[in-house]
Amino acid sequence: MLKKISAASIGILGILSLNAQTDSSKKATTTFSGSVDAYYRYNFSNPPGGTNNLTSFTNSQNSFELGMASVRIDHSIGKVSATVDLGFGKRAQEFSYNDVGTTLSGVKQAYVSFAASDKVKFTIGKWATHIGYELLDAYANRNYSMSYGFSYGPFFHTGLKADISLGGKSALMLGVANPTDYVSAPNSTKVLLAQFSTASKNDKWKAYLNFQGGTGLTQFDLVVTGALTDKFGIGYDGTLQDSKIGTENSSWKAHALYLNFDPTKVFGLTLRADYFDDRKLSPLLGGANKMFATTLSGNVHVDHLTIIPELRLDNAKNAVFTKGDGTATKSTMSFILAAVYTF
């Protein structure tokens, strides 16, 4: 299998080399963008020495925190482009958790692309996963806290992929990558990636069928988004993952429903209903095999700034949270106030 992958990679590189041209008349373009987000979180149980947080990026209690400061550079000339996306802060560290303590921990994304034609583009490097509805960058989500489905993977891939236009609103992505969430492969195992996407003629409805799979790993994911009116939108993300890698043996599924309401340009609301079922009772949720979370987030827009007040209620089948007196409980509520700025 590895020999076949290597041969295919050499063939693709050969094609790129044969088609490469140097033309000083081509105009290069460079764009800079970035974001900063910070937040305060308070869990009303106020657990002694704990946070009652089992999802990504908001593991704090009664504390002001920096989420992440990001700087992104995109450069293109002719058929070739490159992106460098750097992040600093706990959010970036948790995203690249396998690289903490190395020089790679701040690299959210870094990749080079070549458009072989108007229908096919090849990309090599590290990029955020295609799986799921939510994204790493806070400004790209309407809820500030993350869902359980997002938190338990994957986060990113490092490898080679091809984006193929199928005509109309449909497209296909095929790729091969290192084991999930690794920049440097810890072993010779590779993961196959795929995505089929399509949309209605007016782009009001979009659907993405996602896949990753390799030795011992299989995950299918479906994302659907729709604009019901100019003020009301809906989103759905459903995932099923089975993993038997080394001593890890997990099987879980997740469903998340997003209801978005924007009565004005400066204010919006998002209600997220998030269900997670860990069927193997792995350590993911501290021993709880079923979790349901309801999150209501406001979005107040002031130019490039978005202020997000948020209430979140988590309910588990088992008592995995902690009350203020130290006893166990099945539910807990938290408040977050976040500020997200983009430039």
What residues does 41 pair with on adjacent strands?
Answer: 63, 336
Is 140 inside any structural domain? yes
Q: Is residue 1 part of a domain?
A: no
Tell whether the model's pLDDT for residue 6 goes beyond 50. no
> Which one-letter DSSP state was computed for residue 285?
G
Give the count of domains, the chain.
1
In a domain, 16, yes or no: no
Residue 18: inside a domain: no
Both structure tokens of 197? 């996407």
Residue with tokens 């790209």: 140
Domain assignment of residue 190, given as a range: 30-342
With cut-offs at 50, 70 and 90, classify the pLDDT of residue 91. Answer: very high
Per-residue pLDDT band for 148 (boundaries 50, 70, 90) equals very high
Position 8 in a domain = no
For residue 263, is it within any domain?
A: yes
292 closest CA partner among 257, 327, 326, 324: 257
**Is residue 130 included in any domain, yes or no?**
yes
Q: Which DSSP category does 21 fall into? A: -
Q: How many helices (H) and strands (E) does the chain have?
A: 3, 18
Mean pLDDT on 139-155: 95
How far is it, in rounded angstroms, from Cα 136 to Cα 91? 8
Average pLDDT, the chain: 91
Task: Tell me: cis bond preceding 154? Omega within 30 of 0 counts.
Answer: yes
CATH number, position 45: 2.40.160.10
Query: What's residue 286's pLDDT?
Result: 65
Residue 20 lies in a domain: no
Mean per-residue pLDDT, 187-193:
93
- Say yes or no to pLDDT of 96 above 80: yes
